[in-house]
Amino acid sequence: MIYNLRCNSCFLLDVLGKMEPPTSSRLNSRKRRKDGSGPNGATELDGIPAKMSRRSFGLREPAPFSDEVEIDYSKPYIRVTYEEAMRGTPLDRPVRVYADGIFDLFHSGHARALMQAKNLFPNTYLIVGVCSDELTHNFKGFTVMNENERYDAVQHCRYVDEVVRNAPWTLTPEFLAEHRIDFVAHDDIPYSSAGSDDVYKHIKEAGMFAPTQRTEGISTSDIITRIVRDYDVYARRNLQRGYTAKELNVSFINEKKYHLQERVDKVKKRVKDVEEKSKEFVQKVEEKSIDLIQKWEEKSREFIGNFLEMFGPEGALKHMLKEGKGRMLQAISPKQSPSSSPTHDRSPSPSFRWPFSTKTPPSSPANRSRNESAVTYDISEDEED
C-alpha cells in the first residue's frame, strides 16, 4: 500500500514537473526572444547543435555488460550514414558507436577519449570493449589491473552505455553485426599490432571510423614510468603505511635502508622546521626593531623641535628673559613725571656744619637721622662772636 502511494506520488510529481504554467512559459519565451539566446545564453550563430535527451544507463548506475542487455534481432541491422548521424537520429534509434581498449590504470586520458566518442553525434549510444588479461598479455604486455578491475573501472565512467567483456583484438564483420555497430571511435594514429600495420585499416576503408584525439601528457605507460622512476619513494611510502617487505618484494637490507632513510628524512624535516621558525623569529625581530627605530626617530625629532622652540635663538626662553629684564628695569627706575606738569619750588635746605670742622662730611641716611634729632646752630653767628 505504501509502495503504491509512493509510486503514485512520484508519478504525480513527474507529471507536475513536466507541466509548466502558461504564464511562466510566456515569460520565458519573451525573455528568450529578447535576449536572442539559446542554451546557456548562446545564440544560433554560435553553432551549438540542438541537444537531445540521452537514453543512458551510465547516468545513475554502472553501465551494464553486453551479455546483460537484450537486443531485438527481429529488426534488420541497417547502418546509418555519417550524414544521417550528424543530422540526428530518432530517440529510439541512436547511433551505436564502439570504442575499445585495455584501460589499465583508468585515467583522465581514457575518460576524455570516451567523452569524445560519446559526443561524436547528437544521439549516441556508446559501447566500450575491454580486452581480457590473456589477450592483452599476449599482444601488449602485462597489466597492473586485472580484467575484472578494468571492467569495473569502465563501467563507472559516466559516458559509457554498455561494456563488452573479452573484446576481440581485431574487429570482425561478425562482431560488428552482432553488436549492430555503426561507427568505431579511436585516435587516428595507426595502431600496429598482431602482425598488422594498423588494426583499424579495414574499418577506415569501410567508412566506419570516427577519429578522436589523444590527451597529451597522460597515459598508462607514463604513470608506470613515474612509479618505476621513483620506486624507492613509493616503497618507503607503502612501508610507512603498514605494508610488509614481503608484500612489496623488498629485501631485508633494503627494508632497513628505507627505514633509516625515513628517520633521516624526519630529522631533516625537524631541522627545516626549526630553520623556518628561526627565520620567522628573526623576521619578526627585524620588523619590531625597524618599528622601534622609526618611533625613536619620531620621538627624537619631536624632542629636538621642542628644545629649539624653547632654547633656540628665537625661543620662548629669550622672550621670557627680555620680559623679565624689562620689568626689573621698570621696577628699579621709576617713571619720570611729564615735563608739562607744574613744578613746585622747594625751599633751600639750611647748610649745616660740624662743630670745629670746615668741611661738611658726606651725608648718609644714619647721619641724616642724627642731624635731624640734634640741635642745630648757625655756624656763621658763632664765627662772628
pLDDT exceeds 70 at position 12: no
Query: Which segment of 8-12, 73-77, 187-191, 216-220 scores lowest on mean pLDDT?
Result: 8-12
Contact by Cβ (8 Å): 359, 333:
no
Query: Which segment of 41-45, 93-97, 247-251 scores lowest on mean pLDDT?
Result: 41-45
Instruction: Give 374's pLDDT tier (boundaries 50, 70, 90).
Output: very low
Q: What mean pLDDT, rounded, does the chain reach?
A: 77
Angle at alpha carbon of residue 315, lines to 310 and 316, rounded to 5°: 70
List Cα–Cα distances, 292 to 46, 196, 282, 297, in angstroms: 64, 81, 15, 9
Average confidence (pLDDT) over 172-187: 95
Q: CA-to-CA distance for 198 and 309, rounded, in angstroms?
A: 98
Query: Which segment of 34-38, 65-69, 254-258 scores lowest on mean pLDDT?
Result: 34-38
Specify the pLDDT at position 79: 92
Highest mean pLDDT among 223-227, 304-308, 316-320: 223-227
Q: Could you report the per-residue pLDDT of 90-114, keeping only the tens digit for each?
A: 998 999 999 999 999 999 999 999 9
Burial status of residue 342 (CB atoms within 10 A of its CB: 0-12, 13-18, 19 or more): exposed
Instruction: Give 170's pLDDT tier (boundaries 50, 70, 90).
Output: very high
Specify the pLDDT at position 331: 80
Instruction: Give 131's pLDDT tier (boundaries 50, 70, 90).
Output: very high
Specify the pLDDT at position 275: 87
Contact by Cβ (8 Å): 209, 186:
yes
Q: CA-to-CA distance for 184 and 181, rounded, in angstroms?
A: 7
Q: Where are the alpha helices (DSSP H) in the chain?
A: 2-18, 22-35, 82-87, 108-118, 133-139, 147-155, 173-178, 201-205, 220-229, 231-240, 252-311, 316-332, 365-373, 379-384
Which of 129 and 252 is assigned the larger pLDDT? 129
For residue 347, give every residue at least 6 positions away whose Cβ sits within 8 Å of its Cβ, in sequence order, or none.
none
Specify the pLDDT at position 276: 87
Instruction: Give 193's pLDDT tier (boundaries 50, 70, 90).
Output: confident
Residues recorded for the chain: 385
Pick from 103, 96, 81: nearest CA to 178: 96
Q: Could you report the per-residue pLDDT of 138-161, keeping only the tens digit for each?
A: 999 999 999 999 999 999 999 999
Instruction: Give 328's pLDDT tier (boundaries 50, 70, 90).
Output: confident
Q: What is the pTM of this model?
A: 0.56
Q: How many CB atoms lie within 10 A of CB 236?
A: 21
Specify the pLDDT at position 1: 38
Specify the pLDDT at position 336: 59
Pick from 56, 113, 117, 54: nearest CA to 89: 54
Specify the pLDDT at position 339: 55
Specify the pLDDT at position 361: 53
Specify the pLDDT at position 124: 96
Average confidence (pLDDT) over 315-342: 70
